[in-house]
Amino acid sequence: MENNLNQKHIRRYSRDFAELVCDQFFSRHSVVSNEDIMEVQAIRQVNLFVVKNLFDQWQHEIRRLKSPYFDYEAPKVTEAMEALKNALSRNIRMDRKTYQPLLEKSVEETLRIILSPYDYYKDLISVDEELLSSTYLKATARYIKINPFIIEALISKLEEDKIGDLNHARAEQMLDAVVEQLDGEPDDVEPHIESFNKIHPLTSDELFGVVKENKPKEEIEPDSTFRTLNDNLINEERKTLADIHQHQKIEDIRSYLSINQRFMFVNSLFEGNTERFNEVIDHIERQENPDDAIHYLHAAFGEWDRQSEEVEEFFMIVRRRLS
């Protein structure tokens, strides 16, 4: 399922963020050195992704060195190349023209791993197949501190199955398999967004493209007037999900949801706020029948687009739980 992330705003914000940070940093420095790279600005994950992107650039440059005349896989050559990489990592020098695009890319990657980690990892495994291996993923995992449990599970699966090199199809298949089996919750979005906001203004509303007020209202006992106003809405949901009673009842919503579904619902319906999502699930689990739960959702989240796939799927799960 697609969520409603405002991709254009994310790219625009990343560009503006990078420009602001570079204005501040390069007013005092001529280059970014290896001593500076983790201190340019305060968001650690952004700085780590800058280092990761440098690592990726190193991989691409090494590939261009391959020759039919020399054995770059020979142990002594491999050892020498590793020593060269370590030496270069201690001698980083980037001017603004070189550094700013790296920073912009790293900001965008950080926002994507916060807001839609599954999609971030799908893009990660789309690197050139020549690079795609358990070794590459292990090296990359060192730079990921936000929602790292997906890549950790993927690496564990590769080690368990003794898989070294991958192709794109196999990597995507394994990613989907480990994601479906994960029980972890994604990081709460709001603290991460606030860290960006302290440097350059950013809100969840902008990231999701619409102004939302998704705070659940206080629980109220639906009166007859409220039921009259919402009968048509509920009947419409019944028609849309008419075959729901043919399916086995869900005993517990959290246990039923795949990690992919949790990401989708948290990001698309609850602005990335895992705590708010859990509060709503707890409320639904206490209801006696699906009509009361649907009434509650309509009252608390009247701005949801009931025609969207995410809302339809969420309502379907609620009905299966309480039917």
Got the DSSP string for 212-280?
---PPPPP----HHHHHHHHHHHHHHHHHTTTGGGSPPPS-HHHHS-HHHHHHHHHHHSTT-HHHHHHH
Q: How many Cβ atoms from other residues are within 10 Å of residue 316's Cβ?
A: 17
CA distance 69 to 71: 7
Q: Where are the domains of the chain?
A: 7-205, 212-322
pLDDT of 298 > 90? The answer is no
The candidate with the shortest Cα–Cα distance to 260, out of 320, 186, 170, 208, is 186
DSSP state of 196: H
pLDDT of 224 > 50? The answer is no
pLDDT of 45 > 90? The answer is yes
Give me the count of residues in the chain: 323
Q: How many Cβ atoms from other residues are within 10 Å of residue 185's Cβ?
A: 17
Residues 161-204 have pLDDT tens digits of 888 888 889 998 899 888 877 766 788 888 999 999 999 999 87
- pLDDT score for 212: 43
Residues 92-126 have pLDDT tens digits of 999 999 999 999 999 999 999 998 888 899 899 98
Q: Are the CB atoms for 317 and 280 separated by under 8 Å?
A: no
pLDDT bucket at 236, cuts 50 / 70 / 90: low
What is the value of pTM for the model shown? Answer: 0.70
pLDDT bucket at 241, cuts 50 / 70 / 90: very low
CA distance 149 to 183: 10
Q: Are the CB atoms for 211 and 205 separated by under 8 Å?
A: yes
